[in-house]
Structure 1
Amino acid sequence: MLAVPASADRVKDLVNVAGVRENQLVGYGLVVGLSGTGDQTSQAPFTIQSIRNMLTGFGVRVPDNVNPQLKNVAAVTIHANLPAFAKPGQTIDVTVSSIGNAASLRGGSLLMAPMMGADGQVYAVAQGSLLVSGLGVEGNDGSRVTVNIPSAGRIPNGAIVERPAPSQMASNGEVMLNLKTPDFTTARRLSEKINEFFGAGTASAMDSATVKVLGPSSADRRVTFISMLEELEVDPAEARARVVVNSRTGTIVIGGNVRVMPTAVTHGSLTVSVTERVDISQPNAFADGQTVAAGRSSIDVAESGSRMFLLDAGVTLEEIVKAINQVGAAPGDLVAILEALNQAGALRAELLVI
């Protein structure tokens, strides 16, 4: 007899530790040094206002009756993700996007801009030269060629962390493990594996998505404890039977656990062709008549031979596909068959149409 090896996954691939998460940051700034592709200030007054405020901070006052026409400046938004436990002085990548009518940000540099979290506090400061993968070229006759998106770019390591994000991990030693794919069976197996390795009573499944683990209260010992947790291997539960249909591309993905009830399916197609033509009635040369045009419609109905196939109870995915292919069903017909099976209650799977 041959033993079938079990497919075990590491705990770190199955769960997220509660409190260990990224935080989103956003900011507003100015990109300068553009080659005439910046905002048209007549249509983006906020760019002029930002320039005035910046120059005022440097001791330069622009007269109120002067309207600077700056084509090498663009107002932008900056966003980034602040990793968990990021410390002051570390750098993170930022993405810069134009919010005005700038044609391109290629060659520009972002001036120092604070980045705030959802609580309104500044957590990072961004500045640096942009890397723009897009390219846009426009001719005098209005013709235009655009490659990718030139109005957005990135600054690798473009922001310096100024404040660490508050940690939400419990300080009493409790470690909450949140399953990426909630499942009662996986949660039970995970808690049993932890209790088997660390001792009874260490872990308990709270619900289908959360397993509570009692760990050490000391910070350094808790890091070692979580590291050991992540390296454990657990056999996750089998995936739910599901059929996913992409109606735009015609892509169909059928899971291996899909089953059907005893069903008879008839597959055929009905084609209706309508042809319009115009007949001309021309009178004789010496007749006192007029040329008349008369329309004539021709309708043809053709029905291909319908074929019926039988699906037994509990057939596998391979048998379903083989039976449908034998009758020559196209992908569009397969979608209709699956929807019909689902409506009839014969499809023992979740049908998801996206």
Structure 2
Amino acid sequence: MNNLLKKITIGIGAVLCLLSLSEPAMATRIKDMAAIQGVRSNQLTGYGLVVGLNGTGDKNNILFTRQSLTNMLKKMNLHFNKNQIKVKNVAAVMATANIPPFARIGDRIDITVSSLGDATSLKGGTLLMMPMKGVNGNVYAIAQGAVSLAIPAGVNDRSSHLLTARIINGATVEREIPFRLEGKEQLTLSLFRPDFTTARRVGDTINAALGEGIAKIIDAGSIRLNVPESMQQEHVAEFIADVEGLSVVPDTVAKVVINEKTGTVVIGSEVTISNVAVAHGDLNVTIQGQNPQYIMELPGTSTIGELVNGLNSLGVQPRDLISILESIKAAGALQASLEIL
């Protein structure tokens, strides 16, 4: 029996990736778990033309491309009827970008451009000057520049995605999104993964480090921060930095995630199993049992990581392992949620 329980790596037919976090959870900085409400990036979009394509632009039946080109030429005192324009080196595109919080006028941001018409490639093109607007219709940036497809070396162009490109630092911020920290008496800290236990730990940690009453839990995902009066005018940013630098051990939900396609099993640190016996094909497994006919025995409330490692040492195939875990969950002995991808 002891020989069977040794954790020996045995080759199996498919890839089995087991992540069993049996060690105590590590402390995480608050800045990696939460963010100040309102301090976030905003999305920008724009419509424009990419020119300089080598005959790979939109065809003549794409009317909005010809209309856009006609309008642009009119602004340059060149007047043509759109039906007279027949070019293959122009493509209509939509551009998207994220403007980060506290972006200042003159800052540069990256943009992504994607073809709107029936162009076959944006390779070698240049985006003409184009306004980037927010959801309120205001222009926040101006974009322009040569597009880059970033095709991997050795990859055939025809097999690559040629209709979406990037322009690094392709847009200049022209309008700032207002968000002032000066004078703030209260801030709200929003957890990326709402959890009442984690929220309480964050609040207790902040109060212990910065003073009682600084943090008050609102719900599972929000903690209200009362900015000390001495820091409300010119030192709110320093206060936020002090909060972000604190470390907390986040609580986790007991969960097992299984990818049936790849045979991957990911196990959380809090997952345990209760008394159960499983027979699967030629394999018999018991948890908290003394019957000698069973091949492998584990004590009750063992971690599922011990179970999986034991099954792996016996050469159990990933598909059989998934079936065993599903059966243990159905029997109510798996003290965790089971998620099948």
With structure 2 as the length reference, what TM-score do the two structures score? 0.82
Mark the CA change 1:160 to 1:145 in structure 2 (over 3 Å): closer, same or farther: closer
Structure-to-structure mapping, 1:1-354, within 5 angstroms: 7-42=26-61, 44-63=62-81, 66-134=83-151, 146-167=158-179, 172-215=184-227, 216=229, 218-237=232-251, 239-268=252-281, 306-312=282-288, 313-325=300-312, 328-354=315-341
Q: CA deviation at 1:101?
A: 1.4
Q: Could you say what the CA RMSD is over the residues aligned between the two structures, in angstroms?
A: 2.3
Q: CA deviation at 1:257?
A: 2.1
- Cα distance in structure 2, aligned partners of 1:228 and 1:316: 37
Q: What do residues 143-178 of structure 1 show as CA deviations (whole Å, max 9, x unaligned)? A: x86243121111111101111123286954211111
Mark the CA change 1:349 to 1:333 in structure 2 (over 3 Å): closer, same or farther: same
SS in 1 for 2:87: coil
- Contact 1:19/1:169, CA 8 A, preserved across alignment: no
- Cα distance in structure 1, aligned partners of 2:215 and 2:309: 46
Between the two proteins, what is the percent identity of the paired residues? Answer: 43
SS in 2 for 1:48: helix
Find the structure with the greater CA-based Rg.
Answer: 1
Mark the CA change 1:197 to 1:73 in structure 2 (over 3 Å): closer, same or farther: same
- Cα distance in structure 2, aligned partners of 1:162 and 1:80: 14
Count of paired positions: 304
Q: CA deviation at 1:67?
A: 3.5
- Contact 1:256/1:317, CA 8 A, preserved across alignment: no
- Which one-letter code corresponds to 1:30 in the other structure? L
- Cα distance in structure 2, aligned partners of 1:219 and 1:71: 58
- Cα distance in structure 2, aligned partners of 1:8 and 1:63: 66
When structure 1 is superposed on structure 2, of 118-127 and 324-333 the one drifting more is 324-333
Mark the CA change 1:180 to 1:169 in structure 2 (over 3 Å): closer, same or farther: farther
- Cα distance in structure 2, aligned partners of 1:131 and 1:6: 42
- Cα distance in structure 2, aligned partners of 1:78 and 1:6: 42
Could you tell me which runs of 5 or more consecutive residues in structure 2 were left unpaired when the two chains were aligned.
1-22, 289-299
Q: What do residues 265-305 of structure 1 show as CA deviations (whole Å, max 9, x unaligned)? A: 1111xxxxxxxxxxxxxxxxxxxxxxxxxxxxxxxxxxxxx
- Cα distance in structure 1, aligned partners of 2:72 and 2:24: 66
Q: Which has the higher strand share?
A: 1
- Contact 1:19/1:168, CA 8 A, preserved across alignment: no
Q: What do residues 16-42 of structure 1 show as CA deviations (whole Å, max 9, x unaligned)? A: 111110001111100001111111122
Moved over 6 A (4+): none
When structure 1 is superposed on structure 2, of 254-263 and 13-22 the one drifting more is 254-263
- Contact 1:98/1:152, CA 8 A, preserved across alignment: yes
SS in 2 for 1:207: coil
- Contact 2:56/2:88, CA 8 A, preserved across alignment: yes
Q: CA deviation at 1:62?
A: 0.9
Higher relative contact order, chain-length normalized (CA < 8 Å, sep 6+): 2
Q: CA deviation at 1:325?
A: 2.9
Q: What do residues 65-87 of structure 1 show as CA deviations (whole Å, max 9, x unaligned)? A: x4322110001110000000111
SS in 2 for 1:46: helix
- Which one-letter code corresponds to 1:94 in the other structure? I
- Cα distance in structure 2, aligned partners of 1:257 and 1:39: 56
Q: What do residues 313-344 of structure 1 show as CA deviations (whole Å, max 9, x unaligned)? A: 21113321134235543111111222222222
Q: What do residues 212-252 of structure 1 show as CA deviations (whole Å, max 9, x unaligned)? A: 11004734211111111112222322x22111112332222
